[in-house]
Structure 1
Amino acid sequence: MTTQTQISHDPVTFDIIQNALQAVADEMFVAQRKTSMSAIIYEVLDLSSSILDASGQIAASGAGIPAFIGVLDKAIAGILAKFPLDEIRPGDVFASNDPYYGGVTHLNDMVLAAPIFADGRLVAWVSNIAHWNDVGGMVPGSMSSDATEIFQEGVRIPAVKLFDAGKENKAVFDILYVNTRLPDYLRGDLWAGIAGLRTGERRIMELITKYGADTFEAAVEDFMTLGETRARKALGDLPEGSYEFSEEQDTGQVHKVVLTITKDEFIVDLTDNPAQAGSSNSSREGTEIAVQLAFKSFTDPDAPGNGGFFRPLNVITRPGTIFHVQEPGALGYYSEVEIRLFDMLLRALAHHFPGVVPAGNFASICGTVVGGPHPETGRHYTIVEPQVGGWGGWNGHDGPSGQFSGFHGETFNCPAEVAEARYGLAVDQVALNPEPGGEGQWRGGKGIDVHYRVRADNNFLSLGYTRSRIPPWGVDGGLDGSTNYVEVIRTDGSRQRFSFATNVEVNTGDVIRVVTGNGGGYGPPQNRAPQDIALDLRDGYLTPERAREIYGYDA
């Protein structure tokens, strides 16, 4: 007869549990998506879910935004730092959106987490995060490029209990419901997140009942060990050395990084960077996430993305900088700081390790917030949309068009039909960006050119786009891509162009034109195959004038 001790270290059993963890995380994700109220969650998929071990290390993650998955272990660390273990009980549900208490990102992103107990001890956590359209603050949508303090950005939930030993803490629910311009949506999105946790908790308990708590924990630790082993193997294949890189930003500021690779560590030093300012700042933990994504993309994209994989990574920051904001600094547009870092790291690796990284992509979340009175109901509406854009070309491949950046990947744009049904806008055009840029032997993918027509007066537009001045870079002779921006076309024909703006008034008939960049090209344009140029002309990726100018091609 097989003993429990033998079963607890059986690799086949471990493999079953480890694959089950991934399936459970995916089921949590689906449960939350299908029950949410906001299109930013159920269409765009601006959410993520994870299962974590007792100490808060990620064991498995569901679909969703890669940059969100790395939030959840840091959020659990914030909970464990605030609550002694004897105050964490079965039936607890924690909430946190405050970057200074483990929330990591900005106040719109709410983290929910629940501990799982077996045999009288804490054995795991389930957690999720999703973007809520409005959590109060100085402007609708809660994201303002004018904010200078976090107090201006909305209600702060500093790692508190929504449920205490299974009992609802109604005071916290009431605080959330009255600190939003969209209480019905917030209520629905909140309970959808709770449903996701309950789904994960139920499935994890089924695994523990079947295999035992000891076997479950041993399988999770084995999975962590696998992640660490893969990371150290990839690290060992890299040449040791120290590599510096700097990049000018749209603002004229220069971001700098020093990469040091040893046999045991991948060190990213970000100490020499601009001081924190405005709302474009990242928490220390958020910066670490951006580095984690670049590290994994560069070393072993196929390895498990669990806590073990990132053990060789060492991130160094300096408090008071954009990569390590100090309280009470604002973080509304944290995402543009982190994506700039993610993009700079990939560019640095492309510079020092040629042939490993594609040409530059549009590399911005391109957060777009529109709202006001709905033209049919008069009720206030607010939409929050990230945008898709063009990716860079690669040796042997053109760049994909109309995709989210790698930092924000595994998400979708909101369909025009859903936008028109749920928002107070008309979608006049959804097309690829016709602007030149990104030509090469392998061209960059195209961004988008989308027109939203406003259908009521006293609407507003807020946005935060980077790569609005400096385009995605070309590689090995490929041309740079094009930039990201928003253009407001007034009914009198006048036009205003924006990259960052807050509460721009838009009225009936005004058109909000969203333009995202074309990716950079790879290789000299003169080496592009004539048949590929002909296809570009046929498909509208290229005009005859541009074909003659760049490729010397005349149809």
Structure 2
Amino acid sequence: MNKHNQMTHDPVTFDIIQNALEAVADEMFVAQRKASMSAIIYEVLDLSTSILDAKGEIAASGAGIPAFIGVLDKAIHGIFKKFPLETIRPGDVFASNDPYYGGVTHLNDMVLAAPVFAEGRLVSWVANIAHWNDVGGMVPGSMSSDATEIFQEGIRVPAVKLFDEGRENSAVFDILYTNTRLPEYLRGDLWAGIAGLRIGERRIHELIAKYGTSTFEAAISDYMNLGETRARAALKALPHGTYSFEEEQDTGQIHKVTLTITAEEFIVDLTDNPGQAGSSNSSREGTEIAVQLAFKAFTDPEAPGNGGFFRPLNVKTKPGTIFHVQEPGALGYYSEVEIRLFDMLLRALAHHFPGIVPAGNFASICGTVVGGPHPETGRHYTIVEPQVGGWGAWPGHDGPSGQFSGFHGETFNCPAEVAEARYGLWVDQIALNAEPGGEGQWRGGKGIDVHYRVRADHNFLSLGYTRSRIPPWGIEGGLDGSPNYVEVIRRKGGTERFSFATNVEVNEGDVIRVVTGNGGGCGDAKKRAPQDIARDIKNGYLTTERAREIYGYEG
């Protein structure tokens, strides 16, 4: 807290305002969720909301995907690069999905942001981001593993004004509605995001009216300082030094990181990594987000996740690499690059600081896109489904089953009832993955085995799964988990297995089998309690033959 704040503002008032900001961000989230058209938003919760300070630093965040929350400050910085402060007015609303203009992720993710003014000056921002099912491009769903440049991935919205001092820029709206295969859904999702911003702006004005502009601004500054204080305290408590780590990927590429921890900085050097290629690239800002998530999880998970907390973090990248793509590189599957980095950082920290991080998890978004003509209406549909999987075990505990990755956060899978009602698919099975892998004294959590049966001809399947060859790692003698993959079981016979694919034709009666990995095990399998082995056999997680082979089970 600075001297001025100590003299004029009490900590109780600050605490009330800071908690109110979290509540406002959550209310924005709920409003957007309830008003959205697409199940990827209202069921899966593939969105995030934030309140930011006047400089575009995150002050408070709502629920949703952690990797999205870190986008919104960077998106505001992208707006400032195009729009000088004196040109930003009350009533403006900005939109950006272009990673080369502050959009950070890929073109499917639309950022909406609005400035909040009080006493004639900018005092805050409200912002949100959500995945839109289709924004044009070379394939339905807009994500293609075959893309080589961003122009193939959909319409680019480079930080433009949707509203100029409250006046709708109808040309931008028309361009958005025209450049999608799902205009009704896009329209609904867009206006839901705008509604969320308006709720946030209204609530901030109510806070300012109650406590005053200067107190509001001082409370945000104090909250930022608290985040920084917590981060620096955590750094001082860590062993200082330089640590290197490298990890082979499914493709055979080697990803490398060097960590340097001092009393003042946490330095992550990613300069020595493969060159950008295809659509599996991350923006520089996206790489920072993956590092931020790992940094916070490792240093102080309970501290405020605001801009102040990340001040000691220093991320080094090299332009033209997968962690710092240069225009016009494609980013459709950016998420798999970032989650590989997030996972590698946790593994590196587990290697150098044993006992802090559990065994490996399935660690993929497992993005699955299916679409085509709906068998009842003939209208085009697109389902975008991230998948849940198994987490790793740790001493004394089996890993959780059927959870999203830590990168994807507190979100949900789409219920079978919603999928069947909205999309041209039957859901024949949702079960935990019974394949071997992840055994140990404490076993890894189970992935899933889901069967989607296609109801009409000329549908398509696109997907991007990593950890499809190299499974989640075990620790302390536990066995590695199992990989992620998709099988297409043809109605006329035969199966095809995929990890990355674009526009695979699927027809009536074909089954799309989604299998996500079991997490890694922990400890010598021979020490697993007999009652736990018996329970796994009873639940169908383990065959008697496998139990004898791995555990020496004689029950």
TM over 0.5: yes
Determine helix, strand or coil for the equivalent of 1:143: coil
- Please name the residue that 1:430 is paired with: 430
Indicate conservation of the 8 Å contact 1:287/1:324, yes or no: yes
- Please name the residue that 2:280 is paired with: 280
- Please name the residue that 1:389 is paired with: 389
Determine helix, strand or coil for the equivalent of 1:298: helix
The one-letter code of the counterpart of 2:496 is Q
Instruction: Give the Å deviation of 1:493.
Output: 2.1
- Please name the residue that 1:371 is paired with: 371
1:2-401 paired onto structure 2 within 5 Å? 8-401=8-401
Instruction: Give the Å deviation of 1:5.
Output: 8.1
The one-letter code of the counterpart of 1:244 is S
CA distance in 2, matches of 1:81, 1:408: 29
The one-letter code of the counterpart of 1:185 is Y
Indicate conservation of the 8 Å contact 2:5/2:218, yes or no: no
Instruction: Give the Å deviation of 1:7.
Output: 8.8
Determine helix, strand or coil for the equivalent of 2:460: strand
Unmatched runs of 5 consecutive residues or more in structure 2: none
Deviations 1:432-491 (A, max 9, x none): 001000001110000000000000000000000000000000001000000000000001
Instruction: Give the Å deviation of 1:93.
Output: 0.2
CA distance in 2, matches of 1:440, 1:33: 40
CA distance in 1, matches of 2:106, 2:537: 43
CA distance in 2, matches of 1:127, 1:422: 29
Indicate conservation of the 8 Å contact 1:389/1:448, yes or no: yes
When the two structures are aligned, how many residues end up with a matched partner?
552
The one-letter code of the counterpart of 1:501 is A
Indicate conservation of the 8 Å contact 1:7/1:215, yes or no: no
1:454-473 paired onto structure 2 within 5 Å? 454-473=454-473
Determine helix, strand or coil for the equivalent of 1:408: coil
- Please name the residue that 2:490 is paired with: 490
CA distance in 1, matches of 2:160, 2:5: 39
Moved over 4 A (4+): 4-8
- Please name the residue that 2:419 is paired with: 419
Indicate conservation of the 8 Å contact 1:231/1:300, yes or no: yes
Determine helix, strand or coil for the equivalent of 1:407: coil
CA distance in 1, matches of 2:32, 2:140: 24
Instruction: Give the Å deviation of 1:312.
Output: 0.5
Indicate conservation of the 8 Å contact 2:323/2:337, yes or no: yes
Instruction: Give the Å deviation of 1:318.
Output: 0.1
The one-letter code of the counterpart of 1:409 is G
1:507-522 paired onto structure 2 within 5 Å? 507-522=507-522
Indicate conservation of the 8 Å contact 1:67/1:289, yes or no: yes
Tell me: CA distance 1:543–1:241, structure 2 relative to 1, closer, same or farther (3 Å): same
Unmatched runs of 5 consecutive residues or more in structure 1: none
Deviations 1:128-175 (A, max 9, x none): 000000000000000000000000000000000000000000000000
The one-letter code of the counterpart of 1:362 is F
CA distance in 2, matches of 1:551, 1:302: 38
The one-letter code of the counterpart of 1:473 is W
Determine helix, strand or coil for the equivalent of 2:235: helix
The one-letter code of the counterpart of 1:327 is E
RMSD of aligned C-alpha atoms?
Answer: 0.9
TM-score normalised according to structure 2 size: 0.99
Determine helix, strand or coil for the equivalent of 1:382: strand
CA distance in 1, matches of 2:225, 2:156: 36
Instruction: Give the Å deviation of 1:526.
Output: 1.1
CA distance in 2, matches of 1:398, 1:5: 48
CA distance in 1, matches of 2:437, 2:493: 26
Instruction: Give the Å deviation of 1:320.
Output: 0.1
CA distance in 2, matches of 1:5, 1:342: 37
The one-letter code of the counterpart of 1:256 is K
Instruction: Give the Å deviation of 1:395.
Output: 1.1
CA distance in 2, matches of 1:99, 1:450: 33
The one-letter code of the counterpart of 2:511 is V
CA distance in 2, matches of 1:396, 1:229: 33
Indicate conservation of the 8 Å contact 1:476/1:523, yes or no: yes
Deviations 1:31-52 (A, max 9, x none): 0000000000000000000000
The one-letter code of the counterpart of 1:202 is R
Indicate conservation of the 8 Å contact 1:27/1:199, yes or no: yes
Determine helix, strand or coil for the equivalent of 2:407: helix
CA distance in 2, matches of 1:444, 1:133: 32
Tell me whether 488-497 or 184-193 shows the greater mean CA deviation: 488-497
CA distance in 1, matches of 2:395, 2:255: 28
CA distance in 2, matches of 1:537, 1:496: 29
